[in-house]
Structure 1
Amino acid sequence: MLLSEMRVMKTWVESLCVNLLLLLHTVNSVRYEVIGPSDPITADAGDDIILPCYLKPNISAEDMKVQWFRVRHNILEPGTLVHLYEDGRDQNEDQILSYKGRTALFKEEMKKGNTSLKLRHVHGYDDGFYQCLVQSKSWYEEARIQLQVKAVGSQPVVSIEGHRDGGMGLLCESKGWSPEPELEWLDSKGVSLSSGSTETHRDPEGFYTVRLNVVVKETDSFICRLRQTHLRVLMDTEIHVPGELFDHTIPLTVSICVIVSVLATALLVIIWFIWKFKKKGQFINELRQHKVEVTLDPDTAHTALVLSDNKKEVRCDVMNQEEHPAGPKRFDEHECVLGVQGFKSQSFYYEVKVEGEEDDDWRVGVALESANRNGNLTMSPADGFWVLGKMWRSKNRYKAFTSPPVTITWTEKLRKVGVFVCNEERHVSFFDAETRSHIFTLTECNFTGKLFPLFYIYSFHTLSSSLSIL
């Protein structure tokens, strides 16, 4: 009897051990994965982008360590931290400087296993591979994500450099591209010309500038062709090189005739400009009769903005954002601030002085009191915004935020902008207050409430750029 009970007990213990081993094996065989997209993520320069990364199965990552790195030369190197979340909070003291103030995790989504990274104001140097690494106390996994930044640069600019190697030197240049484009010189028949190698360099934001020289021996029309296959962009710029440039012995009488003709034309142009400037001046003076007092409202200012003591000037400091109480009045994603004064059922005018670098981003205009100030804003009239701004990274190119947006090329850099709201005719007009020229007018505006002056500025050059109310 005792022997039989011992055999039963032995069998039960063996069975229990087997079951425990099976249970442990089952627990250990549960595999947690960090999943990212297999295809590259594409983004237009200046946009906000999300780099997807999540846990599978969807367990909470709130108590885990989440790290995002740049991957260069297919390896992780020191000093490549993009974002760090640890012990329940962001810890970005060792973050790459160019990412300061531009990265964020979705804290509410982390409980669902979402460890995606939001990257703001994408620029050229953001292009490349990223590593999303998630670590718990017992395991870690990672995923690699590729970001491709797209930027359409400037129309090729062609210039004559003068006599060189028995001919005439031509230079073709284009700026602001990602990825890098190709340049080619052609004659008037479309035949490719022998030229040197393309000179390439990257600007402070990582966008490509390309230059290509060629020496031509005779008069003709020549074409500089730019091609960017990935963006499906083809641009041509044509220049005619007259035969006189190849002749160093132009007769004196011809030279005198040319000089007299040029001087006469210049005199007529000067007279026309004086008349036109006086006419413009009268118009601007009429607008200034509607000029109103505007001061900045700190309760609406994004945390990256720094206002002057007199509330007449705003600068951007994304590196040292201050803590401010959140609220429906404050812009939480876009670096905007409104004026204190609101206007309804009246026309008004104000002027803004603009100071900054070529790669800064600024906008001025008006917004409805009821316009949404949270999240990613289009700043279009449909959302209660009537705005004109500088195109990021572009020299003398601006944008009216209509639907769709309208690109405006200006002859000079805008340094002083006038904003006029005509309530009777329901339009918002923008002026170059220095040259007293009209820039653009948004018509058929739906003013359904009180309007407030709006100012937006974003700069990578800490505190060096500003908008000042005049």
Structure 2
Amino acid sequence: MNPHIVILLQLIHLVIGQFKIIPPDNPVIGVIGKGVILPCQLQAKTISERLSIQWIFTTNSENIDVSIYDGKNTQNPVTEDKRYQGRTNFFHTEFNKGNVSLYLKNVMVSDKGKYTCSVFFENWYDEVVVELSVAAAGDKSSVFLDGHVGQGIGLTCKSHGWFPEPKVVWLDSKGEIRKEKVITQNERTSSGVFDIISSMNLEPKSDMEVSCRVVNDLLNTACESRVLISDAFFPSTSPWMTAFLVLLFLNAVVIGALAYKLKSNFKRTQDANRYRIDLDFWEAQSHAVPITVDAAGGDLELQVPPAPGTRSSDPSGAADARAPSAVPIALARDGFAAGKRYWEVEVARRPDWVLGVVRGGRERGAVLPAGDSWALHSSRGALFCGRGDAAVEPPPPSCSVVGVLLDLEERRVKFYEAVHMVLLATIPVGEGDAHTFYPFVPKSEGSLAPLVFRPVRIPSALENL
């Protein structure tokens, strides 16, 4: 045999033996409206930072590049399809452990299907298929009286927001399936989930305890409503009394259903607002960059205005409490003139501080005017932003880590309480300010500790979603 072929086969065998993608043990089920992890585990002795990962969603008509990570592109390694914009995250800090899984947010009905995880090295490639099933457990079922049907009473069971299409069973007091004829209609909504309407007629002398159970086999979950029908609701020698009781019961049911609907709408509104807040924070954090303080930056000071409402304590009025004070600051080594950049600063070790960005700091001399800064200030336990004229309302319960998003596409600076993902303030940057902006923190003064930039670990927050 040709010695070159032997060497080539040995190299191929060596590469195949070093790398392997482990297929998932169990099928993946995503709950509509929540997040899900599409698993992809690479088994290897060593893993290069220059690997490439591609997640592809296969439909009947096309292949969609959901999210791609290119380790060779250090500036913008991740790209997303516009249909998945802002909905995916890689576990970047887990790459060295072989975790190339994809986190998919806000699962939708249309996300159901097969996803291919492809991993590339310079001389190796492998892929694995992950099938995602989606499901949703609807709200609590309710049983309504529809009135008289012959000598019996019509009953209707309703529930909303199920996927896939659930089963509906009517039970008696012993938990056994009733023998009455049941008519069930499952209506599909515009979002793809199902609303359930099921009806039956209860005849006199039947088992008067009735249960409606809605079952989702995929999630192995169910909801059930149980009612006990009195003989007084059936036609008798006193139809007026029966009619009165029926109307009274129906009114009670309507009032209860209305109260439940209002409560459900309020909770859904709260959940939607919380999701929008989390999504905004994750989008900001996805632009995280490392920040290094310029040790050779020299002595720079920033004119910082006092907190809003500060008055002079000098009875003679000689001291002007509204005059700005000079604070020694440390600039980052690198500045930014375009795009979006995010970083975080630990502030728990210092009661009063100021941080943010300054415009063209190195070219403006030793003292930088407050007008050239976009900053968040902490003074006497209160936060204020801008240029000293706006307090942060309402104040956060605690503030140990501050996240800063410099968004030069939307021309604004955002400040977040990064532990609880709360937006503290947004400051616009003028359209004419086409300059380089430098992150800054105050230097240490006496016993006051310096503020430090901390590394941003995006995957750690995914556990709280």
Q: What interval of TM-score do these two structures reach, taking the shorter chain for normalisation?
A: 0.3 to 0.5
Q: What is the TM-score normalised by the length of structure 2? A: 0.46
Q: What is the TM-score normalised by the length of structure 1? A: 0.46
